[in-house]
Amino acid sequence: MTNWHALSQQFPADRFSLTEADRQLHAQDQSSHAAHLPDAVVWPVTTAEVSAILRWASDQRVPVVGWGAGSSLEGNPIPVQGGLVVDFGRMNGMTAVYDQDFQVVVQPGILYKDMNKSLAQYGLFFAPDPGANASIGGMIANNAAGSRTVKYGATRDNVLALEVVLASGEIIRTGSRSVKQSAGYDLTHLFTGSEGTLGLITEATLKLAPLPQHFSAVVAAFPSTKHAAEAVFGIMGSGLGPAALELLDETSIGVLCSDGDFDFAIAPNLFMEFHGASEASLGEELLLVEEICRDCGAIRYQTGLGVESRNKLWEARHRLFEVFIRRFPGHAWLLTDVAVPISQYPVLVAYTSEQIERLGLACGIIGHAGDGNMHTAAFFPREDTTGWQRGQELNDLVVAKAIALGGTCTGEHGVGIGKQKYMVQEHGEAAVQLMRQIKATFDPLNILNPGKVV
């Protein structure tokens, strides 16, 4: 019998809960994977408290699942074996800003949009930007990425050091504030992307970037997704460095336009942003972008969008998933998240379009195209079991194609529940076995987010 009383005694009443309502709020992320209730929820405010929680959980053999904003898309924080959810929402401070080094030290529960608002006064920002207002702990645990990854990298490329509490309750520090590090095994980046299965992150030192001074947004429409994907390869292959390069197919643009006052051509579109050291260098870059888009058959090309239009463009892009859900009320959805080398992007997109048509799915293709990342969003009535099967078939086919093209089954959403079945396909049995051994070394009692990743 779990001794919840011993744990609850260590927290004030408003920071430990066994109530149905709090458990429901921590049973499901933003995916369609089945919800599962935890037995209890706790809100620590210090690393010492997290350490005490894990010592208690090891002693009691209770599963422990970290929780940031619950915005995952693969079931990553769903407590599939019940146990305790550790919600980091109240460990949300900014501990130090080293503006001259372009670095910040934060607690894991801080939301990245809030953090960036505070950092604007230093002229700095944290570049990885998943559409949802995710927590930094959740972004590190999932190795989240976003539309700016094409220029600034994913979360992994922007984490320098961590403080982590291990399953035993021991507190360790990894990495340093030096941007060059070569001292032994890279534990910082082992924890990054480990989805809370190896330890709980209690502090992170992040790399920041200066806010761009000169920028321009561009929107280009194409006669087909194939043409748009070829333009993506043309832009990236010519050595241009977009700060964002997003593909939205005709279905996605149609859904977006049905929800707001947008003037997009109802056709596959590329949303882009370019940053320059000066207006002149930016202008030169934009001329080349236009030439490539026109060569790839662009039917409409808009550039030089001002700050307001640029903000509206990115807000629309970030709201797309939410708009899809509104467009298909009461439907279930299945998202794909694969990535391939950029030269293979047109092949992947053409193949995916064919399969969507063959399977007769209501499905959009959306992607952080500049880094070879592609999503499909398939929607079907919950009672339509063939819809779910067709969605799964699409997922299996697109993952197999991405892996065959030299890519991966997940570019950014992580393994969670949905991608576990592809791990051996992608990495091979021996490599997955090594991952299982790593997991067992860090977490011999298998209490940290059990049932995930491997």
Looking at the Cβ atoms of 58 and 72, the one nearer to ligand FAD is 72
**Residue type (1 letter), 266:** I
Residues 6+ apart with CB under 8 A from 305: 216, 217, 218, 219, 313
Residue among 427, 355, 354 nearest 391 (CA): 355
Looking at the Cβ atoms of 71 and 225, the one nearer to ligand FAD is 71
Contact between residue 303 and residue 284 where contact means Cβ atoms under 8 Å apart: no
* Binding positions for ligand FAD, rule: CB under 6 A: 29-30, 65-73, 76-77, 88, 108, 130-132, 134-135, 137-139, 141-142, 144-146, 195-196, 200-201, 321-322, 412-413, 449
CB of 288 to ligand FAD, least distance (A): 27
Return the residue nearest ligand FAD (CB atom): 138
Looking at the Cβ atoms of 77 and 387, the one nearer to ligand FAD is 77
Residues 6+ apart with CB under 8 A from 430: none
Token duo for residue 454: 């491997």
Token duo for residue 195: 């989805």
CB of 150 to ligand FAD, least distance (A): 12
Q: From CA 409, how far away is CA 339, in angstroms rounded?
A: 7
CB of 413 to ligand FAD, least distance (A): 6
CB of 147 to ligand FAD, least distance (A): 7
Token duo for residue 53: 């929680």
CB of 347 to ligand FAD, least distance (A): 23
The three-state secondary structure class of 373 is: strand
Looking at the Cβ atoms of 166 and 288, the one nearer to ligand FAD is 166
- Helix 345-359 and helix 385-404: axis angle, to 10°? 160
Token duo for residue 450: 């059990």
Contact between residue 273 and residue 243 where contact means Cβ atoms under 8 Å apart: yes
DSSP string, 349-391: HHHHHHHHHHHT-EEEEEE-GGGTEEEEEEEEETT-HHHHHHH
Looking at the Cβ atoms of 142 and 352, the one nearer to ligand FAD is 142
CB of 98 to ligand FAD, least distance (A): 22
Looking at the Cβ atoms of 57 and 65, the one nearer to ligand FAD is 65
